[in-house]
Structure 1
């Protein structure tokens, strides 16, 4: 959501700082998704060990 807001502000203003902020939000979002996926994999493996 914040990345979309940042993109709209960048489009309207051309502010490089806003573009970099958008990229930072995208990176954090991707890292969160990867962590969720890896924690799901660990939980699945734990279930198999029962």
Structure 2
């Protein structure tokens, strides 16, 4: 999805497309961090 959106931005230079890319990157990063925490809790239970 990011590659497609980046290609659209390259072709158009549309700032809204660039902002969409940044939002998608942020969402992807947050999802990855959440997955890491879930895995960490399996190895090292907090309770």
TM-score of the two chains, using structure 1 as the length reference: 0.84
Aligned to 1:6: 5
The answer for unaligned runs of 5 or more in structure 1 is none
Q: How many residues end up aligned between the 2 structures?
A: 46
The answer for unaligned runs of 5 or more in structure 2 is none
CA RMSD after TM alignment: 1.3
Aligned to 2:29: 30
TM-score of the two chains, using structure 2 as the length reference: 0.89
Q: Which of these two proteins has the greater Rg computed from alpha carbons?
A: 1
The structure with the greater share of residues assigned to helix is 1
What is the CA–CA distance in structure 2 between the aligned matches of 1:39 and 1:15, rounded to whole Å?
Answer: 37
